[in-house]
Amino acid sequence: MKKEGLHSPTTFVVFDMEWNQPIPYIPSPIDPKLLPGEIIEIGAVKLVMYSESEYTFSQPISITVRPQYYRIMNKQVSRVINKSTDDLKCGMSFIEAYDDFLRWCGEDFILCAWGDSDISILKSNLKIHGLSAEINDRFLDIQPFFGRVAENTTQQRSVAYAVDFYKINQTDDFHSADKDAYYEARILKEALVDYFVLRNREPASDNKNPFPTLKQYISNPNLNTQKKWKSAVCKTEKEALALAVAEKMCCPICDTDLQEVIGWFSSGHTWMSLWQCEQHSTLSAKVRAKQTPQQGYYGAGQLRFVNGNAARYVREKWEEKQKLKEKVKIDTNPPDNEE
């Protein structure tokens, strides 16, 4: 595990949360943009990795949180997680619950979840309660990791899909935080086992589609990992795009010039490119033309850190484009001598 920069044993804290949402026809006690969901349950399981093939699981924990803002159960949410407004009167305050959760996590672990929505909901809840939104500095999103390792795909799969894929014995329904965390931890374990088998098999020197390292899937959720920019307003879409892609690309963290990995190319209405910061790994950039109310255009750009899957997506789009170009070349220049 030395190659991965992980020491032994490594603890993965897999967490999952359930949250209630505002009800559209009731005036919200708080701006839903600031609090898109209020946490009502935190579930988690620890997965400890002793070697590439030895793992243990902790008992799942479940902490019920009493919401302060969204105290009437949203019907859509209720259908999924099967809780009523009465259930929302139970549990401890978010501040107490989060404190308990952190104490249970301990020190030195990699925080994991399925997708990135749990992280963003957690951050909004921390902010609303006046706490620092800074969380554990290592985060692994299991969803893209599973996609790459299990199926070599960038498609987003559900937890239920992955449970099925690994034939994990399903004894409970989904959609309670501790059960979901338990299944996600089981999936992570299977994916890690597969990952090490694959990595030991695939030659590392395949430059065209290098097998990602585990580290490429671990990010720091506290860093400002994206940058947005807008070009000046132009008369045509084309001019606006040209201006936007001429922007100098600097790392959002350390501000050094980025190295171009794949230069700007168009894919449908979007222009894409791939970049590298020597210190802070891979970034993708996208630009789209947008219209102003005065019939002008500007280019809107976004530069952000990407995991192995997202980087691969850009690479695949670029390869598609190259193939298309080749095809056009062949079609317009037929070979002069056919045998």
Residue (of 149, 150, 174) closest to 160 by Cα position: 174
Which window, 15-23, 184-192, 247-255, 325-333, contacts Zn ion (CB under 5 A)? 247-255
The verdict on 303 binding Zn ion (CB under 5 A) reads no
Name the minimum Å distance from CB 224 to Zn ion: 11
The least CB distance from residue 243 to Zn ion, in Å, is 25
Q: Check residue 280 for interaction with Zn ion (CB under 5 A).
A: yes
Closest distance to Zn ion from the beta carbon of 278 (Å): 7
Interaction between residue 306 and Zn ion (CB under 5 A)? no
Residue 279 contacts Zn ion per CB under 5 A: yes
Residue 53, Cβ density class (10 Å: 0-12 exposed, 13-18 middle, ≥19 buried):
exposed
Percent of the chain as helix, strand, coil, to the nearest 5: 35, 25, 40
Among 101-109, 148-156, 253-261, 330-338, the segment contacting Zn ion (CB under 5 A) = 253-261
Closest distance of CB 281 from Zn ion, Å: 8
Shortest distance, position 173 Cβ to Zn ion, whole Å: 44
Which of 81-89, 140-148, 195-203, 245-253 is the region at the interface with Zn ion (rule: CB under 5 A)?
245-253
Residue pair 187/166 in contact by the 8 Å Cβ criterion: yes
**Residue among 108 and 278 whose Cβ is closer to Zn ion:** 278
The residue within the footprint of Zn ion, chosen from 112, 241, 251, 274 (CB under 5 A), is 251
Least distance between Zn ion and beta carbon 261 (Å):
14
> 132 or 279: whose CB is closer to Zn ion?
279
Q: Which residues contact 190 (CB under 8 A, 6 or more apart)?
A: 150, 166, 168
Q: How far apart are CA 331 and CA 79, in angstroms?
A: 55
Residue 72 as a binder of Zn ion (CB under 5 A): the answer is no
Q: What is the DSSP string of 251-312?
A: -TTT-PBPEEEEEEEEETTEEEEEEEETTTEEEEEEEEEEE-TTS-EEEEEEEEE--HHHHH
DSSP state of 219: E
Residue 264 near residue 245, CB atoms below 8 Å: yes
Q: Is the four-CA dihedral 315, 313, 144, 132 of positive or negative sign?
A: positive
Token output for 294: 């005065």
Please pick, from the candidates 47, 277, 283, 303, the single residue that binds Zn ion as defined by CB under 5 A: 277
Q: Is 254 in the site for Zn ion (CB under 5 A)?
A: yes
Residues contacting Zn ion: total by CB under 5 A: 6
Closer to Zn ion by Cβ: residue 121 or 285: 285
Query: Rounded to an integer, what is the distance from CA 245 to the centroid of its chain?
Result: 25
Enter the tokens of residue 212: 């990602």
Q: What is the rounded CA–CA span in Å between residue 27 and residue 39?
A: 19
User: Judged by CB under 5 A, which stretch of 40-48, 126-134, 165-173, 250-258 contacts Zn ion?
Assistant: 250-258
Residue 217 or 305 with smaller CB distance to Zn ion: 305
253 touches Zn ion (CB under 5 A): yes
Q: Measured from the CB of residue 280, what is the shortest distance to Zn ion in angstroms?
A: 3
Is the separation of the CB atoms in 247 and 229 below 8 Å? Answer: yes
249 binds Zn ion, rule: CB under 5 A:
no
- Token readout for 220 is 């720091």
Report in angstroms how near the CB of residue 131 gets to Zn ion at its nearest: 28
Residue with the two structure tokens 């190659």: 3
Q: Which stretch binds Zn ion (CB under 5 A): 62-70, 126-134, 272-280, 304-312?
A: 272-280
Question: Between residues 22 and 301, which has the closer beta carbon with respect to Zn ion?
Answer: 301
The least CB distance from residue 227 to Zn ion, in Å, is 11
Binding positions for Zn ion, rule: CB under 5 A: 251, 253-254, 277, 279-280
